[in-house]
Amino acid sequence: MRPVSGGVAGGMVFDKHRDFIAELLTRYPVKRSAILPLLNLAQREEGCVSQAAMREIADLLDLTPPQVFETATFYTMLSLKPRGTFHVQVCRSLMCALVGADDLLAWLRAHLEPGADGATADGRFTISTVECLGSCATGPMMQINDDYYEQLTRDKVGRIVNDLKQTGDCALKSGPFMMPERK
Ligand code: FES
């Protein structure tokens, strides 16, 4: 593996992000703490976390590939296999379950007919269930790619799916999750 700027090793997956990675590593007193931002970068760059990316991250952070694998397989926002264009993550935790998450999930599955891996045949949607996304007061809710959709009903979910199919976007999104500001 050839050296890159700032003495940081780089490889095929991260080649064009060498400067960003060099800067990223300066933010952490312990190199291994950069594992999540690097896994997130791999996910966004390739649509999944490939074995090549995991090997590169291990090299960069002086970890073993199994240590990187353990982390990559723990978080639902990361995937070892490519996902559909729209990753639909339906919260299945208690507060959302109490207000109808199961019904919406069943509706989604009946209408999009994903395979056993959660992906639709056209590659547009992958449906996953995830644990609490921190938006319990506005359930049932789901996250699609980076955006939250809250206080869902069947009608809203139908409109969201149709809008995403037709335009790639939907005005019903609340946007990315933001921590409430402290007053
Ligand atoms: S239980 Fe669904 S967001 Fe918390």
CATH architecture of structural domain 86-167? 3-Layer(aba) Sandwich (3.40)
Average pLDDT on 52-56 reads: 95
Candidate from 10-14, 21-25, 79-83, 110-114 with smallest mean pLDDT: 10-14
More confident residue, 77 or 66: 66
Tokens representing 180 are 């409430």
Which of 89, 92, 93, 151 has the most ligand 1 atoms within 8 A of CB, as the residue to mutate? 93
- Phi and psi (nearest 5°) for 95? -60, -40
Q: Would you say the CB of residue 96 lies under 6 angstroms from ligand 1?
A: yes
Average pLDDT value over all residues in the chain: 91
CATH 1.10.10.1590 fits 5-72, yes or no: yes
Q: Is the pLDDT of residue 4 over 70?
A: no
Average pLDDT on 22-44 reads: 96
Expressed in angstroms and rounded, the spacing between residue 62 Cα and the centre of ligand 1 is 36
Q: pLDDT (tens digit, 9 = 90+) per residue, 141-173?
A: 999 999 999 999 999 999 999 999 999 999 999
Q: pLDDT (tens digit, 9 = 90+) per residue, 7-29?
A: 444 567 888 999 999 999 999 99
- State the DSSP string of 9-76: B--TTTGGGHHHHHHHHTT-SSGGGGHHHHHHHHHHHHSS--HHHHHHHHHHHT--HHHHHHHHTT-T
Cite the residue boundaries of each domain of the chain with CATH code 1.10.10.1590: 5-72
The number of the ligand 1 atom at minimal distance from the alpha carbon of 101 is 2
Which of 91, 128, 149, 151 has the most ligand 1 atoms within 8 A of CB, as the residue to mutate? 91
Q: Are 45 and 38 in contact (CB under 8 A)?
A: no
Average pLDDT on 30-42 reads: 96
Residue keyed to tokens 């990187």: 68
Expressed in angstroms and rounded, the spacing between residue 134 Cα and the centre of ligand 1 is 5
Q: Is the pLDDT of residue 3 over 80?
A: no
Candidate from 8-22, 45-59, 70-84 with smallest mean pLDDT: 8-22
Cite the residue boundaries of each domain of the chain with CATH code 3.40.30.10: 86-167
Q: Is the pLDDT of residue 6 over 50?
A: no
What pLDDT does residue 125 have? 97
Expressed in angstroms and rounded, the spacing between residue 126 Cα and the centre of ligand 1 is 20
Average pLDDT on 109-118 reads: 95
Which of 99, 133, 138 has the most ligand 1 atoms within 8 A of CB, as the residue to mutate? 133
Q: Is the pLDDT of residue 45 over 60?
A: yes
